[in-house]
Amino acid sequence: MAAVLLASARAPAEGPTWPQIRRVAAEVNQSLRESAAGVSARAQTLAELPRLALATATDRQTVADLTGEELAIRPRASETIELAQVPRTGGAPLSLLRFPRDAASTMPLASPGVHLIVSQGALRVASVVRIRPPARSDEIDGVVAVSWPADMARVARQVAALGSGVTLETQAGTIQIGGPTRAEAQRVAVPVAGPSGQGLVLIAPAPAARGWRPRPLAAALGIALGTLVSASLIFGGAVAAERRARAYELEAWATRTWTPAPPARPRTPM
């Protein structure tokens, strides 16, 4: 009975476990790497189009007069594509054209490689590729940059198991995944490698240690103590009874009367 009460007195831990938090961090890392691989392949494919190399050697007005069909660019859903020029002697990049045309320019055009972008509260993965134009190559480099929304669907499913949202801190900003984090919860910071080794930090609710329920614990301890006292009394009574029995036997042995045996009669010869 005491064992049953003691088991029920153990309160379950509130909040996520460390394995759950590690799974979320691993899923963030894997999802961002997959998104980065896809957007990098897309940007590299566009950078190899001869028409784009020619366009980056012209000027903004010339490029603006070209259509997507003339440039051989067909933007995908939620995709952003930008063409630009970067002076080889240094200086700010010059954006030539952007698809969609009303998209905000948030891509780091002067820095080739994979980048994370936070735009309108959403996380995007961008790839910037430089192009050597056929003309003016001693003055400028062409640039094609592509960005996609980061696919966080699998991450959101992992976060749902935590019972609270998480925060992902990036160099470009902070985003929330899976709703807000409980305000009263303590938090832990877990490093995430991310694409191209970019430092990311996952902020998640801290795992809570298991506790005890006071009333079931007190009842279990009371029963255990009562059982111990009863066992002690029973054992002590048995020992005392055995001692009394031994003392009685010794006393009877010490006070008993010895009766000598009668002498043996001599044998008569036959």
pLDDT for 249 equals 59
Domains in the chain, number: 2
Contacts from 246-253 at CB under 8 Å and sequence distance 24+? none
In a domain, 13, yes or no: no
Which residues, listed in sequence order, are joined to residue 85 by a DSSP beta bridge? 94, 142
Domain residues for the domain of 74 are 30-149
In a domain, 174, yes or no: no
Short-list 133, 126, 146, CA closest to 62: 133
pLDDT for 164 equals 85
CATH number of the domain at 100, please. 3.30.450.20
pLDDT for 162 equals 85
Reported residue count of the chain is 270
159-194 exposure pattern, b = at least 16 Cβ within 10 A, e = fewer: beebebbbbbebebeebebbeebeeebeeeebebeb
Which tokens go with 30?
């894997």
In a domain, 18, yes or no: no
Q: Does 139 lie in the same domain as 42? A: yes
Note the pLDDT tens digit of each residue in 9-62: 454 456 789 999 999 999 999 999 999 999 999 999 999 999 999 999 999 999
In a domain, 238, yes or no: yes
In a domain, 8, yes or no: no
Q: Does 145 lie in the same domain as 35? A: yes
Which residue positions in the chain have pLDDT lower than 70? 1-14, 182-184, 208-270
pLDDT for 11 equals 46
Q: Dihedral sign for Cα 46, 51, 53, 57, please.
A: negative
Q: Does 51 lie in the same domain as 123? A: yes
pLDDT for 198 equals 75
pTM: predicted TM-score of the whole model, two decimal places: 0.70
In a domain, 169, yes or no: no
pLDDT for 120 equals 83
pLDDT for 6 equals 42
pLDDT for 67 equals 73
